[in-house]
Amino acid sequence: MRNARSYFLKAMYREATIGKFAEQYRITDNVIDELLVENSSLDTSIMREHLQMAIDHMQWFDRQVIMLHLQGWNMADVARRSGININVLYKSLHVTKKTLHEILGQSERKK
C-alpha cells in the first residue's frame, strides 16, 4: 500500500460520516461551553476560546474522539460499538491531549 495514512483517513471518514460510528454517536459542538460554564472569568473565556479553536483545527477523527471523551464516553464502549480498535482510539486521545496541553501552555506563556 503506497499511502497507508491517506487510505486510513478516507476509511475513517467514511465510517464516521455514514458508517456505524455515525449511526451510534452524536457529537455536539457545545461540550466545552457546558464543561466550563461555571467559571465565567475573562481568563477562562479566553482559555475556552483557545481550546475550541485548537479542537476545530484538528483532524476530523481526533476531533470526534476528543469530543466523545469530553462528553464522558468510555473509549472501551466506543470501540465495542463502533468496531474501531480501542488502541486507535486511545492513541488518538493521547496525542490530542498532548497537543492541547502544548497549545494551552503556549497561550499561557504569551500572557
Task: Quote the pLDDT of residue 61.
Answer: 92
Task: Quote the pLDDT of residue 93.
Answer: 94
Q: What is the dihedral of CA 88, 93, 24, 71, to 10 degrees?
A: 170
b/e per residue 29-56 (b: at least 16 CB within 10 A) = eebbeeeeeeeeeeeeeebbebbeebbe
Terminal-residue alpha carbon distance, the chain? 46
Task: Quote the pLDDT of residue 104.
Answer: 77
Task: Quote the pLDDT of residue 98.
Answer: 92
Task: Quote the pLDDT of residue 85.
Answer: 93
Domain boundaries along the sequence of the chain:
4-109
Query: From first to last of its 111 residues, what are the pLDDT tens digits of the chain?
Result: 456 666 666 666 666 666 666 666 665 555 555 554 554 566 677 777 878 888 888 899 999 999 899 889 999 999 998 899 999 999 999 999 999 888 777 755 665
d(C-alpha 46, C-alpha 108), whole Å: 10
Task: Quote the pLDDT of residue 53.
Answer: 85
Here the cell at position 12 is 475513517
One-letter amino acid identity for 11?
A
Question: In this structure, are residues 91 and 43 in contact, taking their beta carbons and an 8 Å threshold?
Answer: no
Quote the Cα angle for 101-94-99, to 5°.
30
Task: Quote the pLDDT of residue 9.
Answer: 65
Task: Quote the pLDDT of residue 92.
Answer: 94
Quote the Cα angle for 49-51-56, to 5°.
95
